């Protein structure tokens, strides 16, 4: 597998599909799906007596390739479990783009995983799952724990269980966790992916969760079923109108700058450097999506 270059916000991660590590059929089908990220799971979806077999199966699937330009990720077992170190070493050897660390409780776990990947000479980045109370409270420290860490992935199901809470439709009782984690991620230049929506046949509920996540500022959505991919991709991509507006902002600011002016006016509103920078991010992100979707999927 070619070395992966981290490109921050411009890397499309609108839909991040989980696949059980033991499900060879899902691994093969994923080659035809439009998910931006494929996550091979060795943790929650794999029984303890199947962990080693799943690890071998995932390594073989990644080595076989055929996933186009998608980001290939493995969720390992939590640090401190009997399988974590072997999972990390196998992921390092496979050339996977990133490793998801579940049940993170503090920065020490991220540092330990990152140091192990350093020792293995791997190119893999790290994603930390924020799914415990300690992770939420320690989010700033976790975000700064290791140079390999590039992203926070929210895990609200485990967090709600730990809090003895019920997740309502608007997730109002967990907004603090979402916002604190997102703030910590952005303060340290990390990406941030919203949590799964388990009711995969509830299209309206999923659409509402995506809209909320997009509104909060998340880059994409973790998904558990292929039917969730297309709506997640649409929800977290800039619309045609947004792209057109961004290009107009860039052009207006460039014209003003050419005249030695630091502020432009577009359609009766002021445009400053910060608006031009955000507009450029939108245009770059749209270009990255187009490049990804133009790649053959098999």
Per residue in 77-129, pLDDT tens? 999 999 999 999 999 999 999 999 999 999 999 999 999 999 999 999 999 99
pLDDT score of 15: 98
pLDDT score of 90: 97
- Quick one: 25 and 153 in the same domain? yes
pLDDT score of 242: 95
- Quick one: 168 and 66 in the same domain? yes
Mean pLDDT, rounded, for 165-176? 93
Mean pLDDT, rounded, for 273-280? 95
Contact in structure between 229 and 34 (CB atoms under 8 Å): yes
Please check the confidence at residue 297 and state whether its pLDDT lies above 70: no
- Quick one: 109 and 250 in the same domain? no
Tell me, yes or no, whether 3 lies in a domain.
no
- Quick one: 150 and 247 in the same domain? no
Confidence bin at 5 (pLDDT 50/70/90): very low
pLDDT score of 197: 97
Q: Which helix (H) or strand (E) holds 26?
A: helix 24-29
Confidence bin at 286 (pLDDT 50/70/90): very high
**Angle (CA) 262 263 267, round 5°:** 155
Q: Which of 206, 235, 264 is the last residue of a domain?
A: 235
Please check the confidence at residue 134 and state whether its pLDDT lies above 90: yes
Tell me, yes or no, whether 1 lies in a domain.
no
Mean pLDDT, rounded, for 249-278? 93
Q: Tell me how far apart the alpha carbons of residues 83 and 75 are, in angstroms, rounded to a whole number.
A: 12
Q: How many domains does the chain have?
A: 2
Confidence bin at 293 (pLDDT 50/70/90): confident
β-sheet bridge partners, residue 193: 153, 220
What is the residue-averaged pLDDT of the chain?
94
Domain containing residue 253: 240-293
pLDDT score of 98: 97
Please check the confidence at residue 71 and state whether its pLDDT lies above 60: yes
Q: The whole model's pTM is what?
A: 0.92
Tell me, yes or no, whether 2 lies in a domain.
no
**Which residue's entry shows tokens 């990644």?**
62
Q: Which of 185, 210, 235 is the last residue of a domain?
A: 235
Q: Tell me how far apart the alpha carbons of residues 129 and 92 are, in angstroms, rounded to a whole number.
A: 19
Please check the confidence at residue 8 and state whether its pLDDT lies above 50: no
Q: Tell me how far apart the alpha carbons of residues 72 and 13 are, in angstroms, rounded to a whole number.
A: 11
Mean pLDDT, rounded, for 59-72? 95
Tell me, yes or no, whether 177 lies in a domain.
yes
- Quick one: 250 and 170 in the same domain? no
Confidence bin at 295 (pLDDT 50/70/90): low
Q: What is the pLDDT of residues 174-233, one digit of tens each?
A: 999 999 999 999 999 999 999 999 999 999 999 999 999 999 999 999 999 999 999 999
């Amino acid at each position: 597998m070619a070395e992966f270059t981290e490109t921050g916000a411009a890397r499309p991660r609108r839909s991040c599909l989980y696949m059980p590590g033991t499900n060879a059929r899902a691994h093969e089908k994923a080659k035809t799906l439009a998910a931006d990220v494929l996550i091979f799971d060795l943790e929650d979806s794999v029984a303890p007596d199947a962990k080693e077999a799943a690890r071998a199966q995932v390594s073989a699937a990644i080595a076989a390739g055929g996933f186009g330009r998608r980001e290939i990720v493995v969720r390992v077992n939590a640090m401190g479990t009997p399988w974590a170190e072997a999972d990390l070493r196998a992921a390092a050897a496979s050339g996977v783009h990133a490793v998801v660390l579940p049940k993170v409780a503090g920065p020490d776990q991220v540092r330990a995983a990152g140091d192990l990947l350093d020792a293995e000479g791997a190119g893999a980045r790290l994603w930390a799952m924020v799914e415990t109370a300690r992770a939420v409270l320690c989010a700033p420290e976790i975000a700064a724990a290791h140079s390999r860490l590039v992203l926070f992935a929210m895990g609200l199901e485990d967090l709600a269980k730990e809090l003895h809470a019920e997740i309502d439709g608007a997730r109002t009782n967990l907004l603090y966790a979402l916002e604190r984690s997102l703030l910590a991620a952005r303060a340290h230049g990390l990406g941030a992916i919203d949590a799964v929506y388990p009711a995969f046949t509830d299209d309206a509920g999923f659409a509402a969760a995506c809209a909320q996540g997009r509104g909060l500022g998340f880059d994409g959505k973790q998904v558990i079923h292929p039917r969730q991919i297309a709506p997640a991709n649409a929800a977290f991509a800039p619309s045609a109108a947004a792209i057109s507006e961004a290009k107009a902002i860039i052009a207006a600011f460039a014209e003003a700058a050419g005249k030695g002016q630091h502020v432009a006016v577009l359609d009766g509103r002021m445009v400053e450097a910060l608006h031009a920078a955000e507009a450029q991010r939108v245009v770059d992100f749209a270009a990255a999506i187009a490049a990804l979707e133009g790649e053959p999927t098999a």
